[in-house]
Structure 1
Amino acid sequence: MAKSDGCDYFKRTSNFWIISVTLAVGYFTCIVFAPEKIPFQYLGPFGTFCTYLVENHSELMYKGWWAAFAIHVFESLVALKVCSNKGIHSVSTRCLWFVQTFLFGFASLGHLLKYDPKRPKQQ
């Protein structure tokens, strides 16, 4: 097996985080931009809570959505900086880290932060 110098290290986040973050961000997006599409009456107490938020705090929810977006952009930029610091210089690998961190946030960035290029990877 060929040895790698670490310049192309990439680890995909787990399916749990991919599904959880996708559903949560998707639901939050729907609540903010298209609340009429969500059948709150079928969601029990959670639907009642979400209806309350939509009716009474829609501006705060809107600002919160943009804050979450900005945080994900910031995390993605941090991922690029961490890639540089850890010797990951492959453009395609850096793009993978950027996109994955933008989509899944700290669930992705955590893998990159744990990566230690000085120690050999355990197989």
Structure 2
Amino acid sequence: MVVAKSEARRDATAYFRSARLLPALITVLGLGYCTWVVFWPQSIPYQSLGPLGSFTQYLAGHHHTLLRNGYWLAWLIHAGESLCAIVLCKHKGITDPWARLLWFLQTFLFGVASLSILIAYRPKRQKRT
């Protein structure tokens, strides 16, 4: 019986869930495309991308500074979300260092797709005796 309680406590302190595939994929593809547009706009096959290509070509040609600033702002927001994930881990009783590191990295890479899972997590409160 004691082992079961310690196992339950261990699971609560090491809680980690992977982000859902579709939101994570959208985030990665979006940031990847932005990276491509900001750093290598001359290599993009604009005509092959249809309306997205035309819009991207316009932005890259006329508002490159805005794109570059928006790109770095997006990464800054992801860094802030990662720090928020660390604080949430503390408040929700996730004390395992490996779980905290995983939450930090996953939130940095996938943003709100990861952070929303941590926000929704409701740990079971231990009864105090």
Give TM-score, length-normalised by structure 1. 0.92
Structure 2 SS opposite 1:4: helix
State which structure, 1 or 2, has the greater radius of gyration over its C-alpha atoms. Answer: 2
3-state DSSP of counterpart to 1:82: helix
Deviation at 1:38, TM superposition (A): 1.1
Aligned to 2:82: 76
Structure (1 or 2) with the greater helix fraction: 2
Equivalent residues, number: 119
Distance 1:88 1:37 in 2: 44
| Distance (Å, rounded) in 1 between the aligned partners of 2:109 and 2:8 | 27
Q: Which whole-Å deviations, capped at 9, do the CAs of 1:8-44 have from their partners, x for residues lacking one?
A: 0001011112221111110011001111121011111
Specify which of 7, 12, 18 is matched with residue 13 of structure 2.
7
For the pair 1:47 / 2:53, whether they are aligned, the reply is yes
Residue type of the alignment partner of 2:18: R
Is 1:85 matched with 2:91? yes
State the Cα RMSD in Å: 1.4
- Aligned structure 1 segments of 4 or more residues deviating by more than 3 angstroms: none
SS of residue matched to 2:8 = coil
Aligned to 2:44: 38
2:32 aligned residue = 26
Q: Percent identity among equivalent residues?
A: 45
- Which amino acid counterpart does residue 68 of structure 1 have in structure 2? A
Which runs of no fewer than 5 residues in structure 1 stay unpaired? Answer: none
2:81 is paired with a residue whose SS is helix
